[in-house]
Chain A
Amino acid sequence: GAGVSQTPSNKVTEKGKYVELRCDPISGHTALYWYRQSLGQGPEFLIYFQGTGAADDSGLPNDRFFAVRPEGSVSTLKIQRTERGDSAVYLCASSLRQGWINEQFFGPGTRLTVL
């Protein structure tokens, strides 16, 4: 079957604009994660969903960032009033269930550039 998919693959926007990034997890995976990877850094945790609810959003940098997963499958990461510092690759991952024993499978990422 298909792996985790993310759209768009690239997004260029202007400072102050609103963007939405989409993640389609592997079918049947209940846990979904968002990470952000800035240039020269490793992925940094943003938020984790178990089913429809955000179980841990401690990594969201501020209230301009928000994510939803209304039906427990597809997730959307929303960024309001984008800033140049938001430029990064946004990675989505999913796993069958929560817990370290369940491998996280990563998507290809969305490269966001804020001009």
Chain B
Amino acid sequence: AQRVTQPEKLLSVFKGAPVELKCNYSYSGSPELFWYVQYSRQRLQLLLRHISRESIKGFTADLNKGETSFHLKKPFAQEEDSAMYYCALFTGGGNKLTFGTGTQLKVEL
């Protein structure tokens, strides 16, 4: 069965410091991975997907199949990055997303 693990419930960093939110997955098929973000009092929204290989709001994520990881990174954290971040795996068999438990990122001044 598929599984997504986000080991950190809370990550606190200072403004301007680098950020890395960890995500590991378990899936026997070819993975399609996503990062979703939920800002305070807003709905869950897509941040980026691995297939796009793009940088969104300064965030990037690289799929490492050898380590089964999809860590989210940003070189310099901004206050507005404070939010809840969820890593998600799309499994085509059920056409559904399997989410991790989320990491709360807090950027302190």
Asked if B94 and A106 make an inter-chain contact with CB atoms under 8 angstroms apart, the answer reads no
Asked if A41 and B101 make an inter-chain contact with CB atoms under 8 angstroms apart, the answer reads yes
- Which A17-33 residues sit within 8 Å CB-CB of chain B? 31, 33
Chain A proximity mask over B83-109: 1 for CB below 8 Å, otherwise 0: 000101010101111111110000000
* B46 lies within 8 A of chain A by Cβ: yes
Asked if B46 and A103 make an inter-chain contact with CB atoms under 8 angstroms apart, the answer reads yes
Which of A40, A58, A109 lies in contact with B43, CB distance below 8 A?
Answer: A109
Interface positions of A (Cβ within 8 A of B): 3-4, 31, 33, 35, 40-45, 48, 50, 55-56, 58-59, 91, 98-101, 103-109
25 contacts between A and B (CB under 8 A): A4-B43, A31-B95, A33-B96, A35-B97, A41-B102, A42-B4, A42-B6, A42-B86, A43-B86, A43-B99, A45-B94, A45-B96, A45-B97, A45-B98, A48-B94, A56-B94, A56-B96, A99-B95, A100-B32, A104-B46, A104-B97, A106-B43, A106-B44, A106-B45, A109-B43
